[in-house]
Structure 1
């Protein structure tokens, strides 16, 4: 830059001023990036292009300072030299005026101005600069000026020297401390590098050892795969031995016993094929002792559970589910290794349950006997005109009871249609003060018996199988329930012994059939014998009652006069209204048909009902002769009776009901025209 050139050509530079710096007393400005150069946008009137420049000599002080600062550009300035024809004032004179009388730098100043200035307008010359009466050179060489915040060297005082000395000493100590820190860091880094080398060597050693261990592990696995089964066959874990001898009997103990059973079976199979194996020979006595110990503990366990069944107020089904069925594999183990002891345990259980069910159902049967029942005797037949209403208890003592209807089914059929599958408890049976028909105690006793029989048979089939065959299980079931079944038959005999309640007995028959179907659905065939025996008790009694009704109607028919009444008074008493026997027969027929919707043609009740119907028709025909020669009254009487019967049974369904309805519809039609 041209100021540096001027400084370099000076004959008397300051001795302390460095040759590479130039100083200016003016403060440094950063507000303008171009200094004294003015762009065409700032001065649109000049018509100067952005790349051309002009030197303004009449700018303000700040412009001069900016000019001086911008004059420190490097020689490689991006400004291009422009050659134009200038016709204004002589720039050399203007520069001389600015620089002073020093002629030494005219040539260089002229050259710099020529290189950097292309044109100067008249307005630039009108600007004035205030340098405090100093020329630019003097201003540049002034000791008070500073460039970029760096002061000009001047002699220092003693105090300033001491102060600067302290600063430099502090700086020296800081540098030494940094050197010490860096030295320690270097030492640590060296140690870390050495440690890394050691770790790397250790890792390589571990890798080599790991490879060797993997090879050894694979070899051991291969050997174990081949020798493992053989070692297991000739050894028993101490844990297994202690568990069998002293462990608590639970699910894990059952698994250990199953393992011992498997090992014992395998040892017996392989003993003959490995006569020279010392391990198998030593294992045999140990397995035998373990089996004997397991048999002993199983025996004690089952004996304790059987004793618990004899405790008062115990629920046998809870013990069966929690203490027997969970350990049913133990009985199979016992039966396999000591069948005689297993049979003894089984017999002890059978005796206990035989006593249990006989005792429980005896108490229940006594409670049901306290239920008050309607007593229907031989006076409650169709041909008996003097119907006495009686009530009694199931016991032999008879007391007066509420009235009853021996021929009306009513709500008694709800006992077959109910969804309640639970039997009446003993407590409720003893506290019940109402009067019932015979089917109520029959249903409750047999319902409880069927439920318990199902539970017991299911338990026997689950617990003793596959150790025992199903035929043996059925025999055991019969042995257990034989006293209970006898008790049930005795109760049935007591209920139907003296009764003439045909509807009640037929209800008991249908309930018994329902129990048979339920046992078939539950797959419990062992109780079929009991239900068949019950049916053999009910059907004959029903036949007897139906025969009694037939005999009573026949006797009633025989009691009718053979000749019609001759007197007009007696003929006046005759009425064409239905007979009371017809009302009873219609209700009885309705009850039988309602209870026989699914009955077959081979049932005894069908034959008995046909006979009874014939007797009733014979009675009505004989009774109609009382009207004498009045055919119209006689046929009206028959029409009214048959119409009543048809009306009563009109809401019944089933094959038998349809047949009866068609039969009485024909009789009604036959006498309808005359009526």
Structure 2
């Protein structure tokens, strides 16, 4: 029988397996005939064990395979006996564990019964909740429709109703800021009645429309009287037109807008009256201003100042003496009058201030002042 040296490495053992060696060993230890065991497939199993580390270690140590197998079986048997002893020692604990498991089973069974009852009750509650949900959806839809109807109805009532306070202000109130706000509210109501065709077909309009029309007529009458009085104030002597326009007419300009929207004929009369008033007032002011400017004019040349004039006397008794010819060209010189081009945007002259200072101005300065005042007045209007 060939013996494998123990000093050979694991790789060498894997490459040098000899089937005869192992078969011979098996035959020497136990008489095994070919009838008892078959060696078919042994070589394939040995080839499969080449890469097994445990088998390689056994072969390297020189231990016979059957002896190693018996040792392993003995170890397993001993472990089995030890396990049985451990089980016997823990038998009381296992019995207690078994009892606890049985108790848990009973508790879980009771819980299952309770949960089954809960499931049944939840099923019935679910059906009730479904019914309540349907009722809630119906009620929500009804509430939504009622809110929409209430919103439209409240807006309609608010737009068409005429509060007693509005009637008192329009009829008996003075023209002030509160009166302006009330006029705006009345204007919205009139527009609402005229613009919406559904309002015209409503029965509520039959009760409200006469009152609204009377309020409109009263407001137009009061506005007309108020504005005409202010126009008359413009015609009074020594009236500051700009202050009256800005503090009164401009402040209450909505009254004119109200007439323009809801009383076009009265608006045309007011507009004509204003144009006539301002025409007379401004014409008088400009005439007085022109007369005052004429007093400030500086005489630079007269009708006798000509470019070509004879310097010597004609000898007649009534002949008028002339200045020497050398001073005559200065009359037509531009001089400092060209500075007027740099003062185009300066304010207009104030005649009484200039007259108090005894100042005189050339015709160009006076003309610019007049045109500046005219432009400012037209722009203001």
TM-score, length basis structure 2: 0.52
Dislocated runs of 4+, deviation >3 Å: 218-224, 269-275, 377-388, 429-436
Q: Which residue of 1 aligns with 2:376?
A: 451
Q: Kindly provide the CA deviation profile for residues 596-654 of structure 1, in whole angstroms up to 9, marking residues without a partner as x.
A: xxxxxxxxxxxxxxxxxxxxxxxxxxxxxxxxxxxxxxxxxxxxxxxxxxxxxxxxxxx
Q: Which residue of 1 aligns with 2:308?
A: 383
Conservation of the 8 A alpha-carbon contact between 1:240 and 1:256: yes
Q: How does 1:247-396 map to 2 (within 5 A)?
A: 247-270=173-196, 275=201, 277-377=202-302, 380-384=305-309, 386=311
Q: Which residue of 1 aligns with 2:355?
A: 430
Matched position secondary structure for 1:312 = coil
Select the residue among 149, 167, 170 that pairs with 1:244. 170
Q: Kindly provide the CA deviation profile for residues 198-221 of structure 1, in whole angstroms up to 9, marking residues without a partner as x.
A: xxxxxxxxxxxxxxxxx9xx8886
Conservation of the 8 A alpha-carbon contact between 2:160 and 2:189: no
Conservation of the 8 A alpha-carbon contact between 2:297 and 2:361: yes
Superposed displacement of residue 284, structure 1: 0.8
Q: Distance in 2 between matches of 1:303 and 1:387?
A: 68
Q: Which residue of 2 aligns with 1:229?
A: 155
Instruction: Tell me which moved more, 286-295 or 222-231.
Output: 222-231
Q: Distance in 2 between matches of 1:445 and 1:404?
A: 29
Matched position secondary structure for 2:331 = coil
Q: Distance in 2 between matches of 1:444 and 1:404?
A: 28
Q: Distance in 1 between matches of 2:344 and 2:260?
A: 43
Q: Which residue of 1 aligns with 2:366?
A: 441
Q: How does 1:370-519 map to 2 (within 5 A)?
A: 370-377=295-302, 380-384=305-309, 386=311, 405-418=330-343, 421-456=346-381
CA 1:266 to 1:425, structure 2 compared with 1: closer, same or farther past 3 Å?
A: same
Superposed displacement of residue 432, structure 1: 5.0
Q: Which runs of 5+ in 2 are unaligned?
A: 1-139, 314-322
Conservation of the 8 A alpha-carbon contact between 1:372 and 1:433: no
RMSD of aligned residue pairs (Cα, Å): 3.2
Conservation of the 8 A alpha-carbon contact between 2:161 and 2:208: yes
Q: Distance in 2 between matches of 1:433 and 1:274?
A: 73
Q: Which residue of 2 aligns with 1:567?
A: none
Conservation of the 8 A alpha-carbon contact between 1:379 and 1:386: no
Superposed displacement of residue 222, structure 1: 5.8
CA 1:403 to 1:322, structure 2 compared with 1: closer, same or farther past 3 Å?
A: farther
Q: Which runs of 5+ in 1 are unaligned?
A: 1-214, 389-399, 457-675
Matched position secondary structure for 1:368 = helix
